[in-house]
Amino acid sequence: MTRLLTIICSVAAMSAITSAALADTHNEVEARKVALGLAGAFSNDGFKIRDGYWTGSVKSGERAVVAVNLYAGNQYWFSVGSSDEASKLAVRLHDEAGRPLPTDNYEEEEKAAAGFSPDVSGQYFVSVAPTSGDASTYCLVYSYK
């Protein structure tokens, strides 16, 4: 009987852990759906969506930063989506010294994008930051041509 209770408690604990993981996964999936929806609009202009993506959580007053290698002569769009419709996000590009770069920007509700064409190949940094709302789960994807 004690062994049975231990197994039941273990199963209950695993269910609780799985439920918590699914809640986070659900937010990431929702954020990715929003980001891919926005990136899809750029594919109508010949941009290819890169397979990889980045997800995470970002709080008000903070920013998430991702390093990317970009190539001169290519055009890029970095699209971000949030799982929370009340949260607005901004996407910015920075050079290797952290200086902001001029980009074409798009921001609407829970999605945003930044377009950029580098003159020099190398490492750049993409930052995602909330412009309103509290913490938010985000997903960042990028397109190129």
**CA pair distance 71, 140, nearest whole angstrom:** 19
Counted domains in the chain? 1
Mean pLDDT (the chain) is 83
CATH number at residue 58: 2.60.120.380
Look at the block and give the residue holding tokens 């695993």.
Answer: 14
pLDDT of residue 27: 86
What count of other Cβ atoms lies within 10 Å of the Cβ of residue 4? 8
Q: What is the DSSP letter of 59?
A: -
- Confidence at 140, pLDDT banded by 50, 70, 90: very high
pLDDT of residue 97: 92
Structural domain boundaries, residue 56: 3-144
17: helix, coil or strand? helix
